Amino acid sequence: MDILSTIWLAAMAGVTAAHWLAPEKLRSWVLPGLTAALLGWLSPLTLAFLLLAILLAWGSQRLAHSGPAIALAAMLQLAPVIAWRLNAQVPLPLIEGIAIPLGLSYLALRGMHYVLEAYKGTLPRHELADTAGYFLFLPTITAGPIHRFAPYLADQRRLRWNAALFSEGLERILFGYVKVTFLANVLIDTHFVGWIDAHHTAQSATHTYLTIVAKGLNGYLQFAGYSDVAIGFARLLGYRVMENFDRPLTKPNVQRFWGAWHMSLTSWCRDYVYTPVFSLTRARSLGILASMAVLGLWHEFTLRYLAWGLYNGAGIVAWHQWRKLAGERLERQLLDKPALARAWQVLAVLLTVHFIFLGFVLVQHPSLSEAVATWARLLGL
């Protein structure tokens, strides 16, 4: 379901109206019921996986005393996305030729979150209807954010019409569509890219550099716009879904960038990959590399995405080393020099953005060799 499609626009309008017009006692069933009906019409396979995930998640609470059983339940939540990711590389007999269910990657991470929190005993008391509502939450099904169960349930229990929140939702949806349609599709993808092609030779270093910048900006605006629409849609329904972007292109180092980009995924990796690895090894660098590798492979089970994740992980590790050896001392020296401090801040932001955009080259090409060739052209080689 593309957010630019008439189906999605009609779904947002119709679901919102039905949600608030329904009797209060039935409202908790309306949204998951309508979501199930819509998915049953658009993608029965997606609905089947969601219903199975709900049953597995609900049942996992009764297995919370058993570590092996919970591990199995978590892997069952993750198994479908692993299968489809592998199928994209080596066709598997049972699913070859079958389209991937909508939002399967987001479903897997929400499911693992629920199961692991059940094991830790941190899930608030709730009913099966609450679990179903969490998994069948239409605004975040296709493109996130990967919201958590406890905040969802808190919103569910205090659900009341809120005109200010509804207005915020409309505003966020508008901002999202402006980012996707006008800023990304028109200004960047049409006018800026057209200008690059018209004024620079295709294989030149300048053309290569500007194209990298255009793709980086377009990717950010598209993804942030989709998140804005999802967050806005949730607010129309009375829910505050977690933010997914916090001006990442203004951050002065790679760690802060990844703390502000796709925050629902990076926080998931922090909680369920970095923290366990660090707890077991006491090696921060290993935890960072493991969490960024998982972040990369979550997108696609390929060498290029693994390389991209490790590239960013190595960047975070290198930044920590730099800060330890010289960064903190430099910051102290600049405390009484405001002009130099501002200049350093601008330089740090530019260096961070270029590091990130150069990393995106790894996943913008079908193979690592093509990415390396792009870097070589950038250097005039």
**pLDDT, tens only, 240-279:** 999 999 999 999 999 999 999 999 999 999 999 999 999 9
Is this model's pTM higher than 0.95 or not? no
Of 33-37, 288-292, 377-381, the range with the lowest mean pLDDT is 377-381
The residue extents of the domains of the chain are: 6-157, 163-236, 248-378
pLDDT score recorded for residue 92: 58
**pLDDT, tens only, 106-130:** 899 999 999 999 888 899 999 999 9
Model confidence at 104, in pLDDT bands (50, 70, 90)? confident
pLDDT score recorded for residue 111: 92
Q: Can you tell me the distance from the alpha carbon of 103 to that of 124, in angstroms, rounded to the nearest whole number?
A: 25
pLDDT score recorded for residue 93: 60
The winner for highest mean pLDDT among 71-75, 85-89, 128-132 is 128-132
pLDDT score recorded for residue 96: 58
Mean predicted confidence (pLDDT) in 344-352: 93
Mean predicted confidence (pLDDT) in 361-381: 91
- Identify the residue with better confidence: 38 or 381: 38
pLDDT score recorded for residue 245: 96
pLDDT score recorded for residue 275: 95
Model confidence at 77, in pLDDT bands (50, 70, 90)? confident
Q: Which residue in this structure is represented by tokens 């593309």?
A: 2
pLDDT score recorded for residue 343: 86
* Average pLDDT value over all residues in the chain: 90
pLDDT score recorded for residue 1: 64
pLDDT score recorded for residue 327: 67
Secondary structure in 3-state letters for the chain: CCCCCHHHHHHHHHHHHHHHHCCHHHHHHHHHHHHHHHHHHHCHHHHHHHHHHHHHHHHHHHHCCCHHHHHHHHHHHHHHHHHHHHHHHCCCCCCCCCCCCCCHHHHHHHHHHHHHHHHHCCCCCCCHHHHHHHHCCHHHCCCCCCCCHHHHHHHHHCCCCCHHHHHHHHHHHHHHHHHHHHHHHHHHHHHHHHHHHHHCCCCCHHHHHHHHHHHHHHHHHHHHHHHHHHHHHHHHCCCCCCCCCCCHHHCCCHHHHHCCCCHHHHHHHHHHHHHHHHHHHCCHHHHHHHHHHHHHHHHCCCHHHHHHHHHHHHHHHHHHHHHHHHHHHHHHHCCCCHHHHHHHHHHHHHHHHHHHHHHHHHHCCCCHHHHHHHHHHHCCC
pLDDT score recorded for residue 87: 73
- Identify the residue with better confidence: 152 or 144: 152
- pLDDT reading at 61 higher than 90: no
Of 60-69, 340-349, 356-365, the range with the lowest mean pLDDT is 60-69
pLDDT score recorded for residue 80: 82
- pLDDT reading at 236 higher than 90: yes
- Identify the residue with better confidence: 140 or 380: 140
